[in-house]
């Protein structure tokens, strides 16, 4: 049985490695990206290109996004020459990015009206895992649609989860990132407060790491605050975006999160201070210089 043709939009560090993995496994790709070099790398391995998202969708059985924001996703879907204008009946759109669930559900409904399906499938792990097809994939959507694309997802992920109805993947990813990024903010400020109070940061870590607060996130924060090693590959800008999406989600659900509001305010302040490209534990520097 022949493999489906895949249209892939978004060839950044993660998406580019995902595309390479798919090509290495024999998939025919049609690609688009603002980076000419990223497109050229895929073309050198045999990919085709499209001049518009509509053209890409017309030639694809599965369209995959690895994009930065819900706004970018909606622009590419709803443009006059966008995905919705060209997607084939029976085709599936898979969104690997981190998006607002309400936006995902709206897009899914509009695709369904054209006879196409959608899966939201945000990712865990790193670009290195993407290149080797070892990602964690949090997929959601209609079970028949999921089963249609499952073999391709299994070529991209070591662990592929089906989480329920469309939007559950993005919901789960936002909850996961809320928990993780709030933890990093709290631990980074703990080290900064210790420093201001004259408590040795290494000793603080030695004490805290022997108790239930110990976690990989604590280790990442210690690596930066104590050892000046920044090795959690997730930026303050991305964390700021995801916390903002989490707050939008809880508002859509008719509730609120004061914890998320506090972490989001700190991330936004660090971003405004020019620290957006630093890894999240580097918010320690913002907390260290923070004055009332």
pLDDT digits 0-9 by tens, 105-126: 999 999 999 999 999 999 998 8
Instruction: Please confirm, yes or no, whether 48 is among the known catalytic residues.
Output: no
Going by C-beta distance under 8 Å and a sequence separation of 6 or more, which residues neighbour residue 81?
52, 53, 54, 55
3-state secondary structure of 7: strand
pLDDT digits 0-9 by tens, 10-66: 999 999 999 999 999 999 999 999 999 999 999 999 999 999 999 999 999 999 999
CB 242 within 8 A of CB 251: no
C-alpha–C-alpha distance, residues 269 and 279, integer Å: 15
pTM of the shown model = 0.92
CATH 3.40.50.720 range(s) for the chain read 6-165
C-alpha–C-alpha distance, residues 13 and 10, integer Å: 9
For residue 13, count other CB atoms closer than 10 A to its CB. 15
Confidence of residue 1 (pLDDT cuts 50, 70, 90): low
Both tokens of 189, joined, read: 């400020």
CATH code: domain 6-165 is 3.40.50.720
C-alpha–C-alpha distance, residues 18 and 20, integer Å: 5
Q: Kindly indicate whether the domain formed by 170-289 is annotated with CATH number 3.20.20.70.
A: no
In the set 173, 222, 258, 288, the catalytic residue is 173
Query: Would you tell me the crossing angle of helices 216-225 and 168-196 to the nearest 10 degrees?
Result: 40
Measured between alpha carbons, how far is residue 17 from residues 46, 126, 148, 232, 242 in Å?
Answer: 15, 10, 23, 19, 22
């Amino acid at each position: 049985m022949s493999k489906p043709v895949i249209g892939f939009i978004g060839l950044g560090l993660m998406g580019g490695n995902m595309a390479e993995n798919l090509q290495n496994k024999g998939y025919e790709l049609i690609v688009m990206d603002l980076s000419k070099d990223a497109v050229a790398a895929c073309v050198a391995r045999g990919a085709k290109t499209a001049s518009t998202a509509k053209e890409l969708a017309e030639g694809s059985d599965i369209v995959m996004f690895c994009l930065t924001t819900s706004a970018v996703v909606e622009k590419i879907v709803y443009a006059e020459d966008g995905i919705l204008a060209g997607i084939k009946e029976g085709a599936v759109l898979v969104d690997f990015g981190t998006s607002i669930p309400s936006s995902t559900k709206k897009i899914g409904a509009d695709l369904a009206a054209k006879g196409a399906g959608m899966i939201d499938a945000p990712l865990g792990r790193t670009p290195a895992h993407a290149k080797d097809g070892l990602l964690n994939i949090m997929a959601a959507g209609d079970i028949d649609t999921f089963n249609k694309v499952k073999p391709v997802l299994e070529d991209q992920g070591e662990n592929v989860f089906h989480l329920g109805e469309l939007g559950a993947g993005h919901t789960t990813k936002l909850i996961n990132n809320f928990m993780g990024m709030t933890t990093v903010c709290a631990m980074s400020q703990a080290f900064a407060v210790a420093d201001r109070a004259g408590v040795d940061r290494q000793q603080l870590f030695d004490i805290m790491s022997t108790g239930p607060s110990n976690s990989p996130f604590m280790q990442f924060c210690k690596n930066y605050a104590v050892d000046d090693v920044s090795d959690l590959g997730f930026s303050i800008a991305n964390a700021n975006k995801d916390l903002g999406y989490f707050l939008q989600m809880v508002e859509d659900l008719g509730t609120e999160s004061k914890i998320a509001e506090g972490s989001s305010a700190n991330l936004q302040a660090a971003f405004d201070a020019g620290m957006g490209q630093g890894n999240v534990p580097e918010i320690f520097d913002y907390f260290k210089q923070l004055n009332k």
